[in-house]
Structure formats: C-alpha cells, structure tokens
Structure 1
Amino acid sequence: MIKKCFYTFCISLALLLFFTNTNAQQKINPDSIRSKMQWFADAKLGIFIHWGMYSVNGVDESWSFYNKKISYADYIKQMKGFTASKYDPQAWAGLIKETGARYAVITTKHHDGMALWPTKQKHLSVVNNTPAKRDVLGPFYKALDEQGIKRGAYFSLLDWSHPDYPGFMKDTNRYKIAEQPERWKRFQHFFQSQINEINTAYKPDLWWFDGDWEKSADEWQSADVRKQILAIQPDAIINGRLQGYGDYETPEQNFPVSKPKYNWWELCMTTNNNWGYHPDDTAYKTPFEIITIFVDAVSNGGNLLLDIGPKADGTIPEEQVHILKELGKWNKKNGEAIFNTLAGLPQGHFYGPTTITKDSTTLYLFLPAQTAGNVMVKGLVNDIRDIQVLGTSIHLQHKVVGKISWSPVPGLVFINVPENVRDEYMTVLKLTLDKPVKLYRGQGGLN
C-alpha cells in the first residue's frame, strides 16, 4: 500500500522533469519556476485566436501559399479585405470569460508576416497595409485585463514575407546563412525588435512561439529571446517552441494516448479542422467532444488551448460561439472539479478521467453523459464520507465489495448512478474522503 499526498508528489515530479528536459545552459531557480508556473497549472483552459489576412478568403493561414494552394501574390492581396469593421474586443473577452478560460492567446503575427500591432519595423502590418488601419492587439489585451484574463501572444519566429528571411518564394530569398551572414543578422535584428515591441507595449503573461523548426537555438538566439522577455516581464512563461528554452510543451491536435512526461503541458486544439476562419470547413466538434477532450487533458495534468478563427470583419462564427457557450455552461456547473486541481488517479483505478484537490482529500470522477448504473473504483484504501453529483444537491450511496477483514487489500467500490442525475455532456461525482488519498498498488493476495 502506498500513501500519497498527490500535491507534493506531483510538484516534485514536475520540477524533476523540468530540469531533465530544459536546456542545460539555463540556470533557473526551482522555487521561482514553481511559483511562476502555478497560475498556468491552475488555469486548465485557454482560448487560442487565429486572426489575420487569411480570414478574408478563408484559406489556410500562411500554409496555403507555402503548399501552393494559392499564389503568394493572391494570398497577400487579402490584406485589402481585412477590415475589422465589426471587431468588438470587449465582446471577445466577455465570451472568453464565459467559457471559464483563464488565459487567451492571439496570433500577433503568423508566418505570413502581417503584424496585428503598429510595428515600427518596415514590414507588413494591419495598420499600414489593411483597411482596418489601427492597432487591433492593444484593445484586445485591454479587454482581457478588464475580465481578469491573462494575456497570451502567439509570435512566428520565421517570416516567409521578409526579404532577409532565407525563404522559398524567390530565388533571391534562398540563401545559406553561412554565405550571407549579414542578411541573417538583419533578420535577427528584425524579429528581436518585433518581440521587444510587443513585450514593451503589451507585456504578455505568456509567449506562444511557433516556427522554430526551421533554425537552431543559436540561429534564433533563443537564449537572448528568453532573457529579453524576462528582463521586462519576469513572470512571463514561454511555450516549448523556442528550441529548448521554453517552460512547457504544446502537443498539437492529437491527444497523447498515455500521460505525457512533460513538466507542464498544454494541448492546442481546433474547434473544427482548421485554425483560422474556413467557411468550407463544417466539421465542427460537438460540445460533448470538446468537453471530453478537455477533461482528458486536465485529468492527465495538462491544459486545453481551444482555438477559434474570427472572420475578417471581426465576428466569430456562430458554430464556435455555440461551442464556447456550452463549454462555459458545463464549466460553471462542474468547474470545481477542473480548475485548481491536480491530475487524478493512476490508470487502472477507475475507467475514466479523474482529478483530485491539492490536499488530496477530494476525488472527482468524470462520467460520459450516458453513463448510468454501477461505476467502480479499485484500490481505494480510504473511507468515503460523501458522494455528491457535482452541481446538484443529490448525494449517492456506495457499496464496498470483496473486502476481507484480515487482508490489507481494499475492496471494490461500487457507486450506483441513477439515470435522472446525468449531466447533458459529462456527469461528475465528488468523493469526499476521510483523509488524503491512499491507494493500494499491489497484486492482490497478502501483498
């Protein structure tokens, strides 16, 4: 039998894995990292926003011209249609707040190079190259502040439109850095300057880098990027796409089958099959599917960063609004089992997701919407003081089966769940224990 205080164990394991996976050049105080990452670990839900010129024609963001689905010239022409005429940052922030999300990440600049803020660099921007003619980033961050939501900044390190980036579009852009180091130095100065602009003007709580796969940490000056950010915003956290200089990992679209071994992690996921606005993509996930994915991530110690793609005028597709509102409705009822919790029981103890409070005295069991009848918990040594259907005043009884008085092996806990208590999407049972959770991890018999 093993008695565990899950909070202490999980924090210690997280720190161990962090130092195992983090670039050895970084000298980071463990207490500082633990404190800085706590809000992220507690947040569980963020909203991702892909918004840019690609929303005009509803094509793939940047990749559409990279993959030759559209010519670069036709792609860039979309800037003429980016109006943001119905853009309401307060409404965006209000909808995000309604979901229960604690942070939001917006594409300040994608691989196509168009900045959503008034960059001082001589390059593409929403201010100088679109009918919107204004900063759309600042008002959004201000609206997030008013709702108490953390600011997140997506930033593409690579820039397929910049003349000094060794890209693919023209022969003049294809060069080897070793042969033209001055050109690469100019590009380094460019992207470092843009990062500094965002960091100074908006002070994001979270940086979500992308595009690092094309160059090395030295070429991206990753150590300097991290140092530059933290010099202005010491508590900022950085995702893992900075060639080894980030704080957490970001698996994309496909959920890990087994629990990730990352220190802190976040699953980024679309609401349909595309990141940006795509009117031809009607394969929207249902609220049940989103909630199931969300709970699975949280029960494995991760977050969900759920994406939406507004239209060029700034309105959010109705299907995405519906998904966010339904998620918010479920979180309002069941959020106690989600936010500020820890990953739950190891596999094999319950056939479904679980979470646990930081003091390990309350266990939450997540049941798919149609689950009724008996559910079973194995290896729970604790006495159960109470079982409540979360979000209701209904309390359930349980039965212990197979417990032998002289054996240390606990019995099986069966809980009968009536059909009339089921949640529309996923029912949550709250188990109040007699003391911090204690689990039997043996093989049976007299073990």
Structure 2
Amino acid sequence: MKNLTSLLLIILLSGSSLFAQSAYQPTAKNIENREWFQDAKFGLFIHWGVYSILGDGEWVMNQQKIPIRQYQKLPAFFNPTEFNPAEWVAMVKKAGMKYITITSKHHDGFAMYDSKVSNYDIMDSTPYKKDVLKMLKEECDKQGVKLFFYYSQLDWHHPDYFPLGRTGQEYTGRPENGNWKSYIDYMNTQLSELLTNYGEVGGIWFDGMWDKKDENWHLDETYSLIHKLQPGTLIGSNHHLDPISGEDFQMFERDLPGENTMGFNQTGTISELPLEMCETMNGSWGFNLQDQKYKSSQKLIQTMVKAAGYGANFLLNTGPMPNGKIQPENIDTLMVMGQWLEKYGETIYGTRKGPIRPQEWGATTVDKDGNVYIHVLEMQDEELLIPSLPGKIKSAVYFDGGEKVQFKKTEDGILLTIPKEKRDKIDTILVLKLS
C-alpha cells in the first residue's frame, strides 16, 4: 500500500512544474528580509560570463547555434584582469542601489564561481583562476550591499539536462539521453555551494523553468534545501507564472507588474509578496558590442518611479565587458540616477505602493508616516484629475520648495493645478498629508 501511494504521488507530480515547497511558512528572519527588500527599491542586475567575449549577449550560444565542443573554447580566453570589485560596489552605492544580483551560472552552464562538482567554472577553465563571486561578496560585506545570486535552472551544457527543452536543441552535441534527477541533484549541490561558502546570501534568483514548463522541477526539494541552509534567503523565480509556494518575492521581466508588453509574463496576477521588475539599459542583458539602443536616464528613472508605485523594486541590468569593466555608458546613466535619488530618494526608498495605481501621467507612493507622494511624470495641461484619496487632504505642497499646491475636490475626484513653470521634466513630486 505504501509503494502504491508513492507511485500515485509520483504520477501526480510528474506532469507538473508546480511541485512546490509544501506547507511553506517563512521564518521570522525571512519576513524581516522581505521588509528590507521592499524598502530597498533599487538594485543592480549583472549578467556576466564567458559569453561576454563574443560581445553578442548572453544567449549567443543558442542564437549562433554553437556546439558545446566549440563553446568550451571560450573560457581559455576569459581573463578579466581589470575586474575591481571595490569599484563595482562603490559605483552601486553611488547610484543609490541597495543590492546586487549577479549570474552565478547562466543558460550556457558555465559557473562564475569555484564549483567543486564541475570543472566547467572560472577557477578550473580560465587563466584568471579567481572566484569573482567570492571577491564580490567580500566587497559587498565591506561596503554594506546585499548580494543575490542568479541561477539558471536551464543548462545547455550539462548532459543530464534531458529531455531537451525548447532551447539549446540538437546543435549542442549533447547525447540523446540523460538522467533528469541526476541533473536536479547537480543543481541542488551547486546551490548548496552558493549557500554555504559565501556567507549570508540575500536571495536566489531563478530563471529557466519556462524552457520545460511541464517538467517536474522538484521545487519542493530545491526550495526546502535553500530555506533549510539559509532560512532568511529570499527565493524568486522568473518562470512568468503566478508565485509558487516556497517563493518569497514575485518578479516581472522587462515589464511593470501586471503588464505584458514584452510577451514574457503569462499572468496578470500581482501577488501580495514583495515585487521586483528587471530591465535592461539597452536591449541586451549580457555585453553586446553592437547594441547602442540605450534608454535615457529620464526613462529609467520614470520606470523606477512607476515600479515603486506598484510597490515593486527596480532591478536594472548591466553586462560587464570581458575585461571586467562596466561599460562607461552604463556608469554615466547610473550616476545620473544616483544624483536624482540623492535628492528625491525619500519618495522612493522605504515606501509602499500608493493609493492610486500607476497611470499614464505617473504614480503614487506612500511612506511609513503616511505621506502620499504624487509623482507627475507626464502632463499636457495645467490641471490633473486624480481619484479621491482615502482621507481628507490636510496639506499639499511641492516636494521642491515646499510651496502649496492648488487643489479642489470634485464629484470625479481631486483636481490638482500644476502650472508649467512648476514642472520638472523628469518627475514633478507633490507631497500630500492626509487626515
């Protein structure tokens, strides 16, 4: 009877990727870290790997259909002698960012740290022979920045990643067989390394389940392992689905929460978990030599503001060059954003979503004292009608200068008068105190 029950359970779960951590109850430390995460609001995403050598983004192996036997030649050319973790972290702090999420292993299967279960890593396969994640973590600890690890569940290199998914197909040269559970064990062992050899980890940022959406990913085993090794570590997954039990925050790829302009997010659900949206500075995650379609600092600041209006963090990406340097264009953008946050950060950091859902004109945030910030990003006329607020307005002033804002209550809501000479081209911020 026991064997029959086990068999039925396996059959039930084998067709579903939603094999989640059962009866998950976050610890007090986890809840505390969720609060910190929601307060942080701004982080740096780093996509860095041997793919940077080719200067064609992190998907180059798949897009150019490079077989494993050829792609494995890349690590011999990866020698980032100009990598300076102190400079990276100092830049992050100057940009007003509170945490870093960096790729520990991307879809190409190459580990950017010292993995004991694979020689396909930066220590064993490159002339550099240094653990960049350890170097970065030590510097983050010194400068007070939290470090999260991105980990790709999808792997175009490992022979046990079988059956193959919808990417990394026959061109790789992998055998037409493999042991899926052995791959899961390999993945969990690498995660154990990341969670035991690098001190306190802010979170694990998963990606790649979408490659085999109907596969049994044994999430119960993986999520339980992570929460056992580090109960405070936050788990998020870029699976483009509703949050799964065991996850601690919900993420949205290149879209504001609930939106799907990029076609990635297959759910319109915005959960009650902490939220995060990730975005690129140009059109690429990994270093792309020819991608010069950089978004303006104004656009990125306004996207960050709208994300905050949903209560979400803004995780902004850079793809370092193969020598270990950050692209100058990215640094310039981050410094502009840092200057803006130095002046207006109190309307973003530590806030939660405002009483009005983000609109075309802008967004609202609310701080822990109950002050409501109206962020006016786009406005054609001198009057802006907003919905009624949950309380009587005791005062309304401009964040810059503190002058009173003219307003009147109408049957349709609250009519704000904002003369053109009071506008800021990036964000005109009003501060409302409610009874």
TM class by shorter-chain length?
Answer: 0.7 to 0.9
3-state SS of paired residue (1:86)? coil
Structure 2: distance between partners of 1:262 and 1:94: 33
Structure 1: which amino acid aligns with 2:100?
A
Structure 1: which amino acid aligns with 2:346?
E
Distance verdict in 2 for CA 1:414–1:60, change over 3 Å = closer
Query: 1:365: which partner in 2?
Result: 374
Matched, 1:100 2:109: no
State percent identity of aligned pairs.
Answer: 30
Query: 1:352: which partner in 2?
Result: 362
Structure 1: distance between partners of 2:206 and 2:342: 31
Query: 1:297: which partner in 2?
Result: 307
Matched, 1:397 2:393: no
Q: Which has the larger radius of gyration?
A: 1
Matched, 1:319 2:320: no
Query: 2:156: which partner in 1?
Result: 160
Distance verdict in 2 for CA 1:172–1:429, change over 3 Å = closer
Structure 1: which amino acid aligns with 2:64?
K
3-state SS of paired residue (1:355)? strand
Structure 1: distance between partners of 2:420 and 2:173: 68
| Aligned positions of 1:249-288 closer than 5 A | 249-255=250-256, 256-257=258-259, 260-263=269-272, 264-288=274-298
Q: Contact (CA 8 Å) 1:104, 1:152: kept in 2 or not? A: yes
Query: 1:60: which partner in 2?
Result: 57
Query: 1:426: which partner in 2?
Result: 427
Distance verdict in 2 for CA 1:382–1:103, change over 3 Å = same
Moved more, 296-305 or 161-170: 161-170
TM-superposed CA distance for 1:146, in Å, is 2.1
Q: CA RMSD of the aligned region, Å?
A: 2.9
Tell me which of 375, 397, 405 is aligned to 2:384: 375
Query: 1:134: which partner in 2?
Result: 130
TM-superposed CA distance for 1:145, in Å, is 1.7
| Aligned positions of 1:165-184 closer than 5 A | 165-166=161-162, 167=164, 168=169, 169=171, 173-175=175-177, 183-184=179-180
3-state SS of paired residue (1:220)? coil
Distance verdict in 2 for CA 1:427–1:122, change over 3 Å = same
TM-superposed CA distance for 1:136, in Å, is 0.5
Structure 1: which amino acid aligns with 2:35?
Q
Structure 1: which amino acid aligns with 2:375?
F
Long gaps (5+) in structure 2:
1-17, 261-267
Q: Contact (CA 8 Å) 2:29, 2:231: kept in 1 or not? A: no
3-state SS of paired residue (2:81)? coil
Query: 1:3: which partner in 2?
Result: none
Structure 1: which amino acid aligns with 2:427?
M
Aligned residues: 398
Query: 1:194: which partner in 2?
Result: 190
TM-superposed CA distance for 1:98, in Å, is 1.5
Structure 1: which amino acid aligns with 2:176?
R
Which stretches of structure 1, 4 residues or more, deviate above 6 A after TM superposition?
369-372
| Aligned positions of 1:108-127 closer than 5 A | 108-127=104-123
Distance verdict in 2 for CA 1:170–1:386, change over 3 Å = closer
Tell me which of 337, 344, 347 is aligned to 2:347: 337
Moved more, 257-266 or 295-304: 257-266
Structure 2: distance between partners of 1:23 and 1:186: 19
Structure 2: distance between partners of 1:326 and 1:370: 23
Query: 2:25: which partner in 1?
Result: 28
Structure 2: which amino acid aligns with 1:204?
V
Tell me which of 35, 38, 41 is aligned to 1:44: 41
Q: Contact (CA 8 Å) 2:361, 2:378: kept in 1 or not? A: no
Write out per-residue CA displacement over residues 214-270 of structure 1, whole angstroms, 9 at most, x where no aligned residue: 457984332121222122211111003478342222221133449852223211111
Distance verdict in 2 for CA 1:266–1:236, change over 3 Å = same
Structure 1: distance between partners of 2:44 and 2:347: 19
Structure 2: distance between partners of 1:212 and 1:37: 23
Structure 2: which amino acid aligns with 1:124?
Y
Moved more, 184-193 or 143-152: 184-193
Q: Contact (CA 8 Å) 1:108, 1:153: kept in 2 or not? A: yes
Long gaps (5+) in structure 1:
1-20, 403-408, 436-447
Matched, 1:207 2:207: no
Q: Contact (CA 8 Å) 1:362, 1:431: kept in 2 or not? A: yes
Structure 2: distance between partners of 1:312 and 1:128: 17
Q: Contact (CA 8 Å) 1:386, 1:395: kept in 2 or not? A: no
Write out per-residue CA displacement over residues 303-358 of structure 1, whole angstroms, 9 at most, x where no aligned residue: 11110000011111111111111111111111111111111123499942111123
Tell me which of 236, 239, 258 is aligned to 1:239: 236
Q: Contact (CA 8 Å) 2:309, 2:358: kept in 1 or not? A: no
Query: 1:143: which partner in 2?
Result: 139
Structure 1: distance between partners of 2:279 and 2:358: 27
Tell me which of 210, 222, 227 is aligned to 1:225: 222
TM value normalised by structure 1: 0.81
TM-superposed CA distance for 1:382, in Å, is 4.1
Q: Contact (CA 8 Å) 2:46, 2:318: kept in 1 or not? A: yes
Q: Contact (CA 8 Å) 1:371, 1:422: kept in 2 or not? A: no
Q: Contact (CA 8 Å) 2:61, 2:108: kept in 1 or not? A: no
Query: 1:84: which partner in 2?
Result: 80
